[in-house]
Chains A and B, each alone.
Chain A
Amino acid sequence: MAQIKKILAGALALCMAGSVLTACGGDNGGSSAGGSTEAGKSEGGSEGGSEGGEAAKTEATPADAASLVNTGKVYNVYCWNTEFKERFEKYYEGAKDTALWDGVTVNWVINPNDGNNYQTKLDEAIKNQGSAADDEKVDLFLVEADYAMKYVNSDACLDVIGEIGITKDDLKDQYKYTQDVMTDSNGTLKGLSWQATPGLFLYNAEYAKQVLGTDDPDEVQAMVSDWDKFAETAQKMKDAGIFMVSGYDDTYRCFSNNASAPWVTDGKITIDPQIKAWVDQTKDYSDKGFNNGTSLWDPAWTAGQKIDGKVFGYFYSTWGIPFCLLPNTLDKSEDDGGKLEEGNGGYGKWRACKGPQSYFWGGTWIVGCYGSDNIAITRDVMLKLTCNADIMAQITENEQDYTNNKAAIKKLIDGGYTNPFLGGQNHLALLSDAAEQIDLTGKVSAYDQGCNEEFQGAMKDYFQGKVDYDTALGNFKTNITTKYGDLTMD
């Protein structure tokens, strides 16, 4: 017995020592080995990459469409919700180049966004891109404004022009900012979007009539044109028993997207004066009862979007109208056979105005992944779903989304566009003014999603009067430096 014990103890000690050594050695070995194999591969495989990078500095030469690979049988798309999937199925399936899709099926890999979950899963897939079986390689992935930078600065994205073969001419009608975001420091364009995401203030017309005496967008805009007037109107709303906004985070994007510096510069987290302004304002609103104390995406936050939800307005960017507000305000959802017509909940009873400050919120880009074996399909998807003016116009007309195509939008406005959901208002004119003004340069960092989520969460205690600002800030600091171990904060 004693001998067995000795042997066991010895074996355990060996295991432990061994694993400590492998833990240290494994990483160095792993990264260097990875590096050398990748280097070997890139000689053959990434002609387009280096060419594209160099060419972009002078004048981009599009890759030849006929030479793009299309050998895969499964087209893998990584995304975090069904928004793109719905667009894809409704507007792309009918218009696709069937020759390219011969025998190819599409596989949706959907991972929810919150808590960086989607990023983690995607990063893992990208890391294994080199060793994955052909039909498991990521072909296309989606990124959001909050972390687009992370992928733009990596080499995982295909060059839209040099490797996917889209021409400058195809892109001429897109909003420039949507391309600026996805352009790296060498000038290489890495992803395209089908939408532009200027934000608006959407308000409940019933309450506007009842409290403000008018629901005309221009007159209401005059009453909320800056934060002082916004607060005055909020007071009127409060006197009538209605909350101006639903919760703490509603006005967040108005401030955060007008910040002067991104959350993270050189590995250090800073609180921008605009972010602090949001904290002060929200604290003030919470104390005065201008909001209903909800958090973004809460059931109570969503419930306020019913036409009798006791909330006057929501700050939404373009995608928020079709994807959130419309379904949330209906009494009978479309799935249950509800019709999109006046009388079904709040349909037709919301209006839009510019609001106190121009801002944008979110935005989704589609990106071709390096190592994909269906680049020709990616080209087709990008052309049809982000460049094709007719399809773009259809999406805007049917889905209320604001598509990333100036020509399509102009055509709709000139054609007397009206939006039945907004009671016949032409909100495109408002949006196209706002879209021209968006500039994300120097405002986004790769860590924005985590910072936004953790900051809003930590400040909730302060708004509810549980702790003072410094404690809340301290909580934020502990959380964010645990979540992002490579960052520091003063």
Chain B
Amino acid sequence: MRKTISYAKWGYIFLIPFVVIYTIFALIPLLETFGFSFLDYTVSQGAVSSIRGGGGDTIVNNGFCGLSNYIKVMKSDGIFNISFRSTVVLWLVGFIPQIVVSLLLASWFTDIRLKLKAQGFFKTVMYMPNVIMASALSVLFFSLFTKSGAIDDLLGGPDLLKNEWGARGVVGFINFLMWYGNTTILLMAAMMGIDTSLYEAAQIDGANPSQVFWQITMPLIKPILAYVLVTSMIGGLQMYDVPYLIGGTQGNPNGVLKTLVSQIQLGKNSSVGAVSALSIIVFIVSAILGFITLKIMDDQSIKTRYGKKKKK
């Protein structure tokens, strides 16, 4: 006879729906993509599959082709090469202002001396843009900034979207607007977790606000900062809807709005092998960037902090 009852099996039972759905809709396609990336596989868009018999299929599968898909997308005019740089630039244009503004707002909101009122209201307002669909925002901004759009007319018709940095700026601004609220709230949560006695001690010692920020706040929010950085970076690499709705398939002007995912979307109905290889590369790049960031962020101060927590 058992003396204790284990409830662990219920945990696994409740996990079943997730595992099943994840396996069917995410894991299997993922592994299939991995398989496709080694096949010389295209689908003809100039034909329709035969429905009366008599053959004629649109799929051209020449079987295993080694790394040739990878070589094709990585060469100088390959789709990885042309879209990776522009994706990273687009991400940075949005992320740098986002992290600066979020840090600033978060430290103001959590400052023990400022004691800002109506914080709930501001948090809601800041989070608001994130609730709107990215596509809706993009279409709105497109119609504002496009030739003869409201803002374009107001500025005297510079047609910003035709300019490489103008277009990047608009995309970056939309990403900033959508995500700074989210980041601010995450960072606020991290800052509120810091023991206020540390701040009080610093004040007694005569530290100025900038010293407090750089010496106390920053080191102690590093884990959350790393989380924000990694999630944003992975989100950035998968950027698609905003640049696509502003720049179209061609990512105009001059392809600066082409992103990794827009290339996958462009070729998914036809160049199956090549875009599968691209997807796998995106996966690998995300993994590497994630590891690097975590390694850099994961220094001694974090370990001691976690160590302390565990002892409590």
CB pair A482 B274 closer than 8 Å? yes
Q: How many Å lie between the Cα of A294 and that of B43 in the bound state?
A: 34
- Interface hit among A18-26, A207-215, A219-227, A410-418: A18-26
Closest to A475 in B: B255
| Given A35-B55, A42-B54, also A299-B266 (CB < 8 A) | no
CB pair B147 A293 closer than 8 Å? yes
Interface check A59, CB cutoff 8 A: no
Q: How many Å lie between the Cα of A292 and that of B152 in the bound state?
A: 15
CB pair A479 B266 closer than 8 Å? yes
**Chain A 7-48 interface 0/1 with B at a Cβ cutoff of 8 Å (1 = within):** 000000001100110111001100100110011111001100
CB pair B46 A467 closer than 8 Å? no
CB pair B51 A370 closer than 8 Å? yes
- Interface hit among A126-134, A249-257, A339-347, A419-427: A126-134
CB pair A457 B253 closer than 8 Å? no
- Interface hit among A113-121, A177-185, A325-333, A392-400: A113-121
Nearest CB of chain A from residue B264's CB, rounded to whole Å: 9
Give which listed residue, B52, B59, B82, B162, contacts A38 with CB less than 8 A. B52
**Chain B 56-75 interface 0/1 with A at a Cβ cutoff of 8 Å (1 = within):** 11111101100000000000
Interface check A264, CB cutoff 8 A: yes
Closest to B54 in A: A155
Closest to A149 in B: B46
Closest to A153 in B: B47
Residues of A contacting B: mostly:
helix
Give which listed residue, A20, A150, A155, A298, contacts B147 with CB less than 8 A. A298
Interface check A151, CB cutoff 8 A: yes
| Given A46-B52, A479-B249, A485-B272, also A150-B46 (CB < 8 A) | yes
Q: How many Å lie between the Cα of A116 and that of B266 in the bound state?
A: 10
Residues of A within 8 A of B272 (CB): 485
Interface check B304, CB cutoff 8 A: no
CB pair A458 B250 closer than 8 Å? yes
Interface check A447, CB cutoff 8 A: yes
| Given A299-B149, A450-B45, A464-B162, also A484-B50 (CB < 8 A) | no
Residues of B within 8 A of A475 (CB): 250, 254-255
Give which listed residue, B46, B50, B147, B253, contacts A466 with CB less than 8 A. B253
Residues of B within 8 A of A300 (CB): 146-148
Interface check B36, CB cutoff 8 A: yes
CB pair A482 B275 closer than 8 Å? yes
Give which listed residue, A23, A35, A292, A298, contacts B39 with CB less than 8 A. A23
Residues of A within 8 A of B271 (CB): 481-485
Give which listed residue, A460, A478, A486, contacts B44 with CB less than 8 A. A486
Interface check B79, CB cutoff 8 A: yes
Residues of B within 8 A of A458 (CB): 250
Residues of B within 8 A of A474 (CB): 77
Closest to A155 in B: B52
Residues of A within 8 A of B159 (CB): 293
CB pair A484 B270 closer than 8 Å? yes
B positions within 8 Å CB-CB of A: 27-28, 31-32, 34-36, 38-39, 42-61, 63-64, 77, 79, 82, 143, 146-149, 159, 162, 164, 248-250, 252-255, 263, 266-267, 269-275
- A-B residue pairs in contact (CB < 8 Å), sample of 7: A19-B28, A20-B31, A127-B48, A299-B148, A450-B45, A485-B42, A486-B43
